[in-house]
């Protein structure tokens, strides 16, 4: 039998692995390796099969073209970025408020949901010409398209998060005499926050899609317009450079949303590195 | 003095005749400061009874009177704890326990001004159930038994005059359960709220309650009641003494009888 005083004072620590083999380090490096890997394979495929540049340009040609046209790319990227961010922020505000309204009562949920599904089934590209009739060619149709495409996932997620609060949790609060609004504020909203932030990550990428689609159809500025002009001039590497810049912006905004998510809803993501205390 | 008074209460879920009739003619009286346990076969409407008493569900027929007033909506004087601890995962243990203070008057409006006093009170309560040092842990960092203790503290923090416990210890192991019986007895002796405890566990009912009520199978009503005259504070060994054992046996027979009439 082993008694407590036969043991060492402190339980042994797990030996640390060298930096590059540690899980955390690996997690930071792997995404970069995947991206570089894609470019390398792409470059090899283009060179080996001698694919024409106007069909599929090699990454080297795309980067060269991107550097050559850096000024118009930056100007147009900034335009696209601002359009997307404004549309996205509108979507966040409207989606959050409408989500609370729809999720807070099952009557609202049941009445509005079919209409919302119907609305979301409309391809937003089809709406752009109508927006052009209303607002003319320019930034506003692009903002509205980004907004229209991005607000739905936010609304649905917030509504679901609030509508699916455990009945027992509601009972605890209602038995204390809490009003409906108090139940939403104390339980529904915090509970829907992980859903909300998860939806932001989807919504921001959607917003970029909306902006670029609208810019391609009806704008004289922005990455969408730049790509349209580039491909009409058979400057295919430049069109691809536009795509690349868009994905970089998409990733950047995604990371911003993901960081906000981690900060605000860390409680919902108890990963392996969270301190695990007291079992028993 | 009667604190809770249910007179021939019936409750049918849904609005048409084929809705489940959960309670039928349930009559129940609980005195102020009394500790009552309700036992019965599973699905007999015990949880429904809790919801009717706290005003979460209006009865289909009959009258519910709590603290001299007819119950028409959710009471604000009740503390509740369930089988599932239902702690909010985004709040620390301490913040979870203090949740009722943010809702119930007069605490709600005093909370900010007398923050330190309330904080001390919550810490004391947690210490009383053996959760000292875990105030800043999140619920998922606690074991099931510790979560349930925190849930009890949350039910008690606003000094409710009525404490409704719906099988609060059912999902715990025997040792933790017995420990919490003692903790609950201490809390009750210290504050003397009126307690209605719904449970499957007859030993638990006999150990904790002043009076044990037996419910019939669905539709539920009270078919038997037994006083438990053991002196307080009771200890766990007492539950194995002849008096308690005989009482448990007798209650068991009532429940078997209720089950066989249902089948």
Domain boundaries, chain B: 2-262
How many other CB atoms are found less than 10 A from the CB of residue B132? Answer: 11
pLDDT score of B95: 92
Indicate yes or no: CB of A268 within 8 angstroms of CB of B89: yes
Indicate yes or no: CB of A177 within 8 angstroms of CB of B75: yes
Kindly report the backbone phi and psi dihedral angles of residue B119, in degrees, each rounded to the nearest multiple of 5, phi listed first.
-60, -45
pLDDT at A273 over 60: no
Query: How confident is the model over A125-141, as a mean pLDDT?
Result: 88
Residue A274: closest CA among chain B residues belongs to which residue? B141
Query: How confident is the model over B215-244, as a mean pLDDT?
Result: 86
Q: Which domains does chain A have, with CATH numbers?
A: 74-266 (1.10.3720.10)
pLDDT score of B17: 73
pLDDT score of A280: 33
Q: How far apart are CA A7 and CA A11, in angstroms?
A: 8
Q: How far apart are CA B218 and CA B22, in angstroms?
A: 6
CATH fold of B2-262: Rossmann fold (3.40.50)
Q: Which has more confidence, B14 or A74? A: A74
Residue B107: closest CA among chain A residues belongs to which residue? A176
Residue B166: closest CA among chain A residues belongs to which residue? A168
A166: chain B residues, CB-CB within 8 Å: 84, 86
Query: How confident is the model over A227-239, as a mean pLDDT?
Result: 90
Confidence grade of residue A274 (pLDDT, cut at 50, 70, 90): very low
pLDDT score of A9: 67
pLDDT score of B83: 83
Best CA proximity match to B207, nearest among B33, B29, B37: B37
CA angle, residues B88, B94, B98, in degrees to nearest 5: 75
Chain B residues contacting A, CB < 8 Å?
A: 51, 54-56, 74-76, 78-80, 82, 84, 86, 88-90, 99-100, 102-104, 134, 137-138, 140-143, 146, 154, 158, 164
DSSP state of A235: -
* pLDDT mean across residues, chain A: 86
Q: What CA dihedral angle connects A129, A130, A133 and A137, to 10 degrees?
A: -40
pLDDT score of A58: 92
pLDDT at B61 over 90: no
Residue A187: closest CA among chain B residues belongs to which residue? B88
pLDDT score of A38: 95
Confidence grade of residue A19 (pLDDT, cut at 50, 70, 90): low
Query: b/e for B209-227, b at 16 or more Cβ within 10 A?
Result: bbbbbbbbbbbbbbbbebe
Terminal Cα-to-Cα distance of chain B (whole angstroms): 38
Q: How far apart are CA A112 and CA A116, in angstroms?
A: 6
Size of interface A-B (CB pairs under 8 A): 76
Q: Which has more confidence, B199 or A269? A: B199
Q: How far apart are CA A17 and CA A19, in angstroms?
A: 6
């Amino acid at each position: 039998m082993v008694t407590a005083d036969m043991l060492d004072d402190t339980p042994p620590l797990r030996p640390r692995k060298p930096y590059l083999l540690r899980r955390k380090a690996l997690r930071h490096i792997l995404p970069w390796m995947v991206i570089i890997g894609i470019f390398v394979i792409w470059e090899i495929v283009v060179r080996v099969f001698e694919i024409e540049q106007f069909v599929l340009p090699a990454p080297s040609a795309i980067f060269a073209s991107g550097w050559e046209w850096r000024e118009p790319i930056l100007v147009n990227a900034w335009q696209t970025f601002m359009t997307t961010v404004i549309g996205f922020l509108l979507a966040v505000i409207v989606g959050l408020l409408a989500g609370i309204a729809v999720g807070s009562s099952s009557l609202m949920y049941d009445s509005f949901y079919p209409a919302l599904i119907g609305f979301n089934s409309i391809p937003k590209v089809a709406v752009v010409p109508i927006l052009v009739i209303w607002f003319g060619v320019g930034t506003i149709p692009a903002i509205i398209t980004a907004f229209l495409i991005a607000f739905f996932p936010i609304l649905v997620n917030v509504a679901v998060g609030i509508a699916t609060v455990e009945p027992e949790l509601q009972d605890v609060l209602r038995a204390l005499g809490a009003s409906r609004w108090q139940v939403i504020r104390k339980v529904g909203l915090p509970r829907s926050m992980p859903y909300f932030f998860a939806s932001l990550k989807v919504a921001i990428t959607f917003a970029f899609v909306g902006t670029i689609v609208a810019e391609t159809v009806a704008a004289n500025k922005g990455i969408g317009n730049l790509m349209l002009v580039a491909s009409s001039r058979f400057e295919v590497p430049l069109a691809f450079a536009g795509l690349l810049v868009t994905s970089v912006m998409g990733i950047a905004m995604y990371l911003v949303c993901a960081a906000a998510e981690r900060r605000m809803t860390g409680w919902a993501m108890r990963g392996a590195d969270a301190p695990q205390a007291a079992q028993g | 003095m009667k604190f809770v008074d249910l007179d021939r209460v019936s409750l049918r879920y849904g609005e048409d005749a084929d809705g489940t009739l959960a309670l039928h003619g349930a009559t129940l009286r609980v005195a102020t400061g009394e500790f009552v346990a309700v036992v019965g076969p599973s699905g007999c409407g015990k949880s429904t009874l809790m919801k009717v008493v706290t005003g979460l569900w209006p009865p289909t027929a009959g009258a519910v009177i709590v603290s001299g007033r007819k119950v028409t909506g959710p009471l604000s004087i009740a503390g509740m704890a369930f089988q599932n601890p239902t702690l909010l995962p985004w709040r620390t243990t301490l913040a979870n326990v203090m949740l009722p203070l943010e809702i119930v008057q007069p605490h709600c409006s005093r909370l900010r001004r007398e923050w330190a006093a309330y904080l001390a009170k919550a810490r004391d309560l947690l210490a009383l159930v053996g959760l000292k040092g875990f105030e800043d842990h999140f619920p998922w960092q606690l074991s099931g038994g510790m979560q349930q203790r925190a849930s009890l503290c949350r039910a008690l923090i606003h000094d409710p005059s009525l404490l409704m416990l719906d099988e609060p210890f059912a999902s715990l192991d025997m040792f933790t359960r017995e420990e919490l019986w003692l903790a609950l007895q201490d809390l009750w002796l210290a504050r003397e709220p009126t307690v209605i405890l719904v449970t499957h566990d007859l030993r638990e009912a006999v150990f904790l309650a002043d009076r044990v009520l037996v419910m019939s199978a669905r539709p539920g009503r009270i078919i038997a009641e037994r006083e438990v005259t053991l002196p307080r504070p009771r200890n766990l060994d007492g539950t194995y003494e002849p008096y308690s054992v005989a009482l448990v046996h007798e209650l068991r027979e009532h429940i078997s009888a209720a089950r066989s009439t249902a089948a």
